[in-house]
Amino acid sequence: MGMEKTRYIFKFYYIGSKKYHGSQRQPDYLTVEECLLSALKERKYIIDDKKSGFEVASRTDKYVSARGSSFSFESEKKPILMEINTALPKNIGIWGYSEVPRDFFSRYNALFRHYKYIIPYSIVFRKNMTSSNLNEMIKACKVFEGRHDFSNFSKQEKDNEKTIRDIILASLRLNGDFLIFDFKSRAFLRQQIRKMVAKIFEIGLEIITFEQFLDLFNPSRTYSYQPADPLGLILWDINYGNNIQFTVDAKSIERMNKFFLQQEIKFSTKHKLFSLMQRNNISEKSL
């Protein structure tokens, strides 16, 4: 008989790039999830991924990054985060963990997911943005809050897909030279945030009127358009309430911040993104 297994939940970050074809496992493609599993198997935390109950809380598309994503699995070994991190590429890292009940799943037990979308306003507006433009964008963003049919703000993957979602928070603010969006919901549809952001941009650029924007909430009409660039999207946090207290590993945080600092210097256009992601305190007040 083997040792008794314990189920754990982990917090991790990753930087979306052309190297990874999104976060979710795909045949014949390198993904973030595949890298995690490979490291866990190499360090003998997982022998059989199916028997371990390994699952990731959220999936993201190619080029999307994460600051506080999560995954869970069962293992006989107590986690030593740096042991796992040394088997991972530097643009992926685990920084916290907690024991959870055997019937806990990081995906289904999440209370809400928090995404940020960050972009220099000069990329959106070729000329100076007026306060009137910004106020219209903020006003439109607040309309997303509450329960709505988001069929025109998503990429539907199957027929009869349920497209009604409850948005806890939808906000926009100007922070220095950057537009920063915050979105919170228990679950989002495919490309939902990027499509919502794309239409907010069109409001600010006066491509569509506020009335035309409101018409997008009418599911009887169908609109086709491109989502916003995935590079600005960050899965900032997945919240589980006060029942789970994560143990944060100082060396893993140091490894993460060192990588972010190197990237901040290397990629000046992502300066704000990496500066924000370096902060250990992810409270709304600090951002």
Which single residue is written with the structure tokens 């930087």?
Answer: 15
Distance CA 228, CA 262 (A): 26
Distance CA 239, CA 86 (A): 26
Task: Single out the catalytic residue among 28, 48, 49, 61.
Answer: 61
Average pLDDT taken over every residue of the chain: 87
Burial category of 250 from C-beta neighbours within 10 Å (exposed 0-12, middle 13-18, buried 19 and up): exposed
Distance CA 285, CA 238 (A): 17
Residue 99 has a pLDDT of: 97
List pLDDT tens digits, range 207-230. Answer: 999 999 999 999 999 999 999 999
**What's the one-letter identity of residue 128?**
N
How big is the CA angle at 94 (ends 119 and 110), to the nearest 5 degrees?
75
Residue 81 has a pLDDT of: 95
Largest Cα span, the chain: 69
Output the pTM of the full model: 0.89
Domains in the chain: ranges and CATH? 6-110+240-279 (3.30.70.580), 113-232 (3.30.70.660)
Cα separation values, 184 from 41, 95, 144, 175, 267, Å:
33, 22, 11, 19, 28
The answer on pLDDT for 283 being more than 80 is no
Q: Which residues contact 277 (CB under 8 A, 6 or more apart)?
A: 13, 65, 67, 234, 260
> Distance between terminal CA atoms of the chain?
50
Q: Compute the residue count for the chain.
A: 287
* Strand ranges for the chain from DSSP E: 6-14, 55-56, 65-75, 92-100, 112-120, 146-149, 164-175, 178-185, 233-239, 247-248
Residue 267 has a pLDDT of: 59
List pLDDT tens digits, range 145-197. Answer: 999 999 999 988 777 789 999 999 999 999 888 899 999 999 999 999 999 99
159 belongs to the catalytic site: no
Quickly state the pLDDT bin for 127 (edges 50, 70, 90): confident
